[in-house]
Amino acid sequence: MADSPNGAGNVTAQLGFAGMPRHVGDLMITEVVCLPPHHPFREAVDLMARHSFHHLLVAEPDGRLAGVLSDRDILRGEGCYDSDTTLIADIMVSEPITVRAQTPLSEAVELVLDHRVNCLPVVDDAGQICGILTSTDLLRALKNLQSAIEKLA
């Protein structure tokens, strides 16, 4: 184990946390389901009902993020829209809170808590979708960290 300049050593390595995630890119899901804004709302609902995810990223044809559609958005929209004519663009959150892959996880957690959201789209500097980070991903990382701490006790 290499010592730091002050001789204290690498604390994360000493505690066994060297492999723990530190940035959004360490946890984000890169295989995300995206649909275009002009896609029918009903098809998005059906897709989410058939699969085990709670968020769809809405992408422009060039891959830039246009919005997010969550199961909560669907519940709020159910009964308020004509399922045959309503588009994803009519329901989605069009300016979601986003992060970059290099965003520290502590900052991502703060955004989730402050804005009361359950997912953060991960985009690059051009707004291209790179992935998604969900509250479930963050809780899974917390569980792993807590388990490591408990093993030390």
CB 21 within 8 A of CB 45: no
The reply to whether 93 falls in a domain is yes
Q: Does the pLDDT value for residue 4 go beyond 50?
A: no
- pLDDT confidence of residue 87: 92
> Any idea which residue has 């001789």 for tokens?
7
pLDDT tens-digit map of 91-113: 999 999 999 999 999 999 999 99
CB 44 within 8 A of CB 109: no
Report pTM: 0.83
Tokens representing 71 are: 């199961």
Helix (H) or strand (E) run with residue 60 in it: none
Q: Does the pLDDT value for residue 17 go beyond 80?
A: no
The reply to whether 92 falls in a domain is yes
> Any idea which residue has 């588009």 for tokens?
87
pLDDT tens-digit map of 37-88: 999 988 888 888 888 889 999 999 999 999 999 988 888 766 677 767 889 9
Read off the CATH number of the domain in which 39 is found. Answer: 3.10.580.10
The domain tally of the chain equals 1
The reply to whether 4 falls in a domain is no
Determine the Cα–Cα distance for residues 49 and 150; give it in Å rounded to an integer.
Answer: 37
The reply to whether 139 falls in a domain is yes
Residue 60 C-alpha from the chain's centroid: 18
The amino acid occupying position 78 is: E
What is the DSSP code (8-state) at residue 4? P
- Expressed as residue numbers, the domain containing 47 is 22-152
The reply to whether 69 falls in a domain is yes
In a 13 Å sphere around the CA of 78, the CA atoms on its Cβ side amount to 9
Q: How confident is the model at residue 11 (pLDDT cuts 50, 70, 90)?
A: very low
The reply to whether 72 falls in a domain is yes
The reply to whether 6 falls in a domain is no
Instruction: Work out the percent of the chain whose per-residue pLDDT is above 90.
Output: 59
The reply to whether 9 falls in a domain is no
